[in-house]
Each structure stands twice: as C-alpha cells, then as structure tokens.
C-alpha cells in the first residue's frame, strides 16, 4: 500500500512538472564549450529538428546580431557559429542549407532548431518537428567573424528588464555586452574576446563564468 501511495505521488509530481513547463518539460542546459576541431566538413548527425519564430524574432542571437526568423539560419548546441550545414528532412526528402548562428534547442530529444524560413524550405511548418540529417558543408570561423570566441556570462534573469539593466551595467564598465534568450530566461554576456586572458580580466571585474563558442 505504501509503495502504491509513493508511486501515485511520483506520478502527480511529474504531472505538475509537465503542466508548469508546457510542451518542453525536459529542458536541459546547453553545452557551451564546443571543440571546433571536432566539427569538420562531412560531419553528420541525425535526430529530430524543430523550428522557432516568435517571440525570439528580433532578439539577439547567440552569435551576435539579431535573430531573423525569415533568414536561413539554425541553432545547434555545439556546432561552431558561422558553420554552413545541409539539413535533409528524412520525412519528405526536402533539403536546405543553413548557417548556425544561435544555441539550442534546449528540449530533450531534439538536435536542431531551424528558423521559420528554414522550416518552410523543409516543409515542416505544420508538423513543427521533423526527422533530419545534419551535414557540415563548411566550417565557420567564429573568431574572425566576431573578433573573438570567448565570452563571460555575467547573469541570467527571468525578467528582460533585469537583463537590460545588467547589460547596461556591463557596458558602463567598458565591455561589449549582449542579451541572449535561453528558454524563458535572458542571459547577459560580455564579449566576445579574442584572447582568454582578456576574458579573464573581464571575469575578475564582473564575476560570472567563461564560455567559448
């Protein structure tokens, strides 16, 4: 009887977690320190992709700049920024080439988030997800693209107003700063820095932790 009661409580707790977190109850932390040398032309990965548009359209992308859901871009947890990938929809045979400029998806069981334009090219707007194959076509050079590939993450905020205040504080301290959307929170980062010693000086001044592209 006690075992049955314990199981009932576990199921109830799981149900509450799903209800609170909606369709993404298994959100995970991203891997933020990829090894660029591990990703070469021809590298492949298969799994499930999803797409994202609002409310991220117009917000900062993790690689810098602004996320444009009508551009041919994608978010991956590890592939270096600026890398061109071919995405094949294994459900319908459609394919498209995209540039990785963001981090994600942060939902268990998914390997890629594509922009709305990418989703249209893959004919996955309606279904929302698709079984895909990723193939690296050209490896990006995040360092030359942005002037560096080391960041300092200095804060994470539920409310965007708090993130904006922290970003302004970092900017007043003399560092380039940006806000990254991450699930339902906003992360504030300083950088990018071309050299780790410069990033560590920022770390000593601002606190937080180091991240690499």
In a domain, 8, yes or no: no
| 76 backbone dihedrals φ, ψ, rounded to 5° | -135, 150
Residue 22 predicted with pLDDT over 50: no
Residue 2 predicted with pLDDT over 80: no
Residue 103 predicted with pLDDT over 60: yes
Q: Do 208 and 185 lie in a common domain?
A: yes
Which candidate, 24, 45, 25, places its Cα nearest to that of 34? 45
Of the ranges 17-21, 122-126, 175-179, 192-196, which one carries the lowest mean pLDDT score? Answer: 17-21
**Band (141; pLDDT cuts 50, 70, 90):** low
Residue 161 is part of a domain; what is its CATH number?
Answer: 3.30.70.1070
Of 79 and 142, the structure prediction assigns the larger pLDDT to: 79
Residue 148: per-residue pLDDT: 56
Residue 124 predicted with pLDDT over 90: yes
Residue 50: per-residue pLDDT: 96
State which residues form the domain around 117. Answer: 36-141
Residue 119 predicted with pLDDT over 90: yes
How many structural domains compose the chain? 2
Dihedral of alpha carbons 79, 122, 60, 19, sign: negative
Residue 180: per-residue pLDDT: 77
Q: How far is CA 64 from the centre of its chain?
A: 12
In a domain, 17, yes or no: no
Residue 126 is part of a domain; what is its CATH number?
Answer: 2.40.40.10
Residue 63 predicted with pLDDT over 90: no
**Band (89; pLDDT cuts 50, 70, 90):** very high
Q: What gap in Å lies between CA 182 and CA 47, rounded to an integer? A: 21
**Band (131; pLDDT cuts 50, 70, 90):** very high
Q: Do 59 and 79 lie in a common domain?
A: yes
Single out the residue in 95, 123, 141 at which a domain terminates: 141
The burial of 201, by beta-carbon neighbours within 10 Å (0-12 exposed, 13-18 middle, 19 or more buried), is given as middle
Q: Which pair of tokens denotes residue 158?
A: 């539920």
Residue 13 predicted with pLDDT over 70: no
């Amino acid at each position: 009887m006690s075992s049955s009661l314990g199981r009932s409580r576990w199921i109830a707790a799981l149900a509450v977690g799903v209800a609170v977190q909606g369709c993404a109850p298994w959100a995970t932390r991203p891997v933020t320190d990829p090894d660029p040398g591990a990703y070469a032309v021809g590298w492949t990965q298969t799994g499930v992709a999803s797409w994202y548009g609002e409310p991220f359209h117009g917000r900062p992308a993790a690689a810098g700049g602004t996320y444009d859901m009508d551009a041919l871009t994608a978010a991956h947890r590890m592939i270096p920024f600026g890398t061109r990938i071919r995405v094949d929809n294994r459900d319908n045979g459609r394919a498209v080439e995209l540039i990785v400029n963001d981090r994600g998806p942060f939902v268990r069981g998914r390997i890629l988030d594509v922009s709305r334009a990418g989703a249209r090219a893959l004919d996955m707007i309606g279904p929302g997800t698709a079984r895909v194959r990723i193939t690296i076509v050209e490896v990006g050079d995040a360092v030359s693209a942005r002037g560096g590939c080391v960041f300092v993450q200095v804060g994470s905020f539920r409310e965007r107003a708090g993130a904006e205040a922290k970003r302004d504080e970092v900017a007043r301290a003399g560092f380039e700063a940006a806000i990254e959307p991450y699930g339902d929170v906003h992360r504030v980062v300083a950088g990018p820095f071309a050299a780790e010693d410069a990033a560590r000086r920022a770390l000593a001044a601002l606190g937080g932790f180091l991240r690499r592209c």
